[in-house]
Structure 1
């Protein structure tokens, strides 16, 4: 876990008493009305979480408040971090001095949230807290017209307002919703959505699971979000199941595949910026999965970027003549393979030796895959080793014959 430099996120000072609200009933957590008779010696958060896999957040507990420290992934080179001080409602906030100077104080459990990050929606769904969502970006509301999962999200939230887009929030609508927090994606250097919203005085919470280099690191952000709901016990039980199932699949696949097998993870086509081929090296989440599977990644050499890189026809062809299998991602890849004859020059693709993103449920998969990473690796395993999963087909990735 990196040692970040503590910096000001939102200017606050002095001791604050948090106003009453109704708490959620969670495994061993404070339940019912807010605290009425504060006991400074009491542990108000008996269920706790810690980041065992994430590179970008850590938690500490202090009686009636907890501190979530998050790397500012929009400005990683600066070493900056953001402190969220989560205070049990009805109890006093700590003095914001020293390491806590400039921290963002939030009363927990939260009751109203706006969500602009699809993976955060999936995490809140896993925690059964959809009813706290009061606002969503317009694209998610549109998805509800064509995707059953998003339709269930919107139904569970009640009647969430349209807050426009994550890169251009409707500030007037956002303010009118009086949300406790706005869960937003921290996509990494080059993005500034969270910074921009925070600079406008809104309580944006950076959820940077998509910058994690490992699947379990991404999924573990479920426990980070749970801390805002005082739902650590529930989240830990969910994550423990995800972790166990994920590790079991990885071990099963690694034991069956040889190191001489070449497997690539790539997307194809001009839509979405894939070019002829956009492939992941060893430093990406999916590159990490390939390493755990024990296979050789033909795109690993010289491809150290955290999100992979683009390869033109000639360079991709030179790397893939011995490739045995492809995991082809992105909703536009199936059309690219079907309409661009150049892919016939790649032996594995020409032979149909690949599993590819499903199109009909792409929006669901894009929200859930980086949370339910156990289901993600199972899809890959079914494509690679169908004999080990007789009668099963993938949900978000399927081989051409399925």
Structure 2
């Protein structure tokens, strides 16, 4: 019986192996011909990116164009530690530049991208690129109904449904690039594991920016990956135009705005927005009075309760009081808050205009790429006469 099987195998091998060898030769020749075609069709003098972007507001990244590739530079910029990571974004079918590791080289346009932050979601939607979104951190904190539908239809994976990045799932997802969050060159074990597997990790640092337009401009990083420079230039130009119109209105009409405080006490400490922080920038552009406007802190400023309480008694407004969503929330924390002028006049606002019970907040999603709407919200709060027809979108008045 064994001889019979061997005999049949021998006959199969005699008849089939020549065809397999011929197929291998054909595939090899096809691959070789494809490489030759790419090499022959590549024109080193041709500009493969006729539409380019410029970085005018963000300080966390930059781009340099070459004929068939772009160098994306991501900076750690707000302290004395200098840290720059460079990626070569190479047009598909053209030669790669020398000097870049495999995990620092990306073929563009990228087909499949994973995201570890909700701030990226609004960017994908802005560029009509949800087809390129293949993985997210977790659905829980996402506001977009479109993305939730993609997750339900299993077209988009959750990479960290339990709170930790599942590297095996990320590798199996076949994403080409992961948009992470952190400082450039952050020593994250999971990110390192993905890079070792050949998946480049771009650490988006939009959260380091100190102004609204700077944060919004990080959408251009996604545009660089997708070769959507033309689309992002058109969209961002409209944003800038609308944003500057509102700014000009404030500058022309407001000499001195009302006073506001920020934050809420945590025990005996009260953290308010520092005078050089993103939180204060949002107030500064609306031309309001702020007790700590001359402070040099780029983040929160820690004060004692009594210091802020004295200003709170007279402040006309109270902005972003922690996680409070109602006046009752504030009253339950400390009855002394009811002494505030802003509490009595119900002039307390927080960034819960669009949030989900699961924890999603659209302020950190579509709000990132709609700085002109956030600006309108803030101006409508402090100077309602300037924008009487605007209804709050990302902010909500506490009731």
Give the alignment's TM-score, normalised by structure 2. Answer: 0.79
- Between Structure 1 and Structure 2, the one with more helix by share is 2
Mean CA deviation greater in 198-207 or 172-181:
198-207
Cross-structure match for 2:22: none
SS of the residue 1:387 aligns to: coil
Cross-structure match for 2:345: 351
Deviation at 1:330, TM superposition (A): 4.9
Distance in 1, matches of 2:134 and 2:302, equals: 39
Q: Is the counterpart of residue 92 in structure 1 residue 95 in structure 2?
A: yes
Distance in 1, matches of 2:181 and 2:136, equals: 13
Alignment of 1:2-401 (within 5 A): 37-72=41-76, 77-96=80-99, 104-138=104-138, 141-143=139-141, 147=143, 149=144, 151-156=145-150, 159-164=155-160, 168-186=164-182, 192=186, 197-198=191-192, 200-201=194-195, 202-259=199-256, 261-264=258-261, 266-268=262-264, 277-302=270-295, 304-328=296-320, 330-334=322-326, 336-340=329-333, 341-358=335-352, 361=355, 363-400=361-398
Contact 2:263 2:273 in 1 (8 A): no
SS of the residue 2:390 aligns to: coil
Contact 1:116 1:166 in 2 (8 A): no
Deviations 1:198-255 (A, max 9, x none): 3652411111111101111111111122100000110111111111111212222233
Deviation at 1:376, TM superposition (A): 0.7
Cross-structure match for 2:10: none
Deviation at 1:333, TM superposition (A): 4.8
Contact 2:353 2:396 in 1 (8 A): no
Mean CA deviation greater in 369-378 or 228-237:
369-378
What RMSD over aligned residues (CA atoms) do the two structures have, in Å? Answer: 3.0
SS of the residue 2:264 aligns to: strand
Distance in 2, matches of 1:136 and 1:309, equals: 33
* Larger-gyration structure (1/2): 2
Deviations 1:304-336 (A, max 9, x none): 332223444212113334422232265435353
Unaligned runs of 5+ in 1: 1-16, 21-33
Sort the Cα spacing of 1:276 and 1:397 in 2 relative to 1 into closer, same or farther, 3 A: farther
Deviation at 1:393, TM superposition (A): 2.1
Distance in 2, matches of 1:275 and 1:85, equals: 49
Unaligned runs of 5+ in 2: 1-30
Distance in 1, matches of 2:268 and 2:367, equals: 23
Give the alignment's TM-score, normalised by structure 1. Answer: 0.78
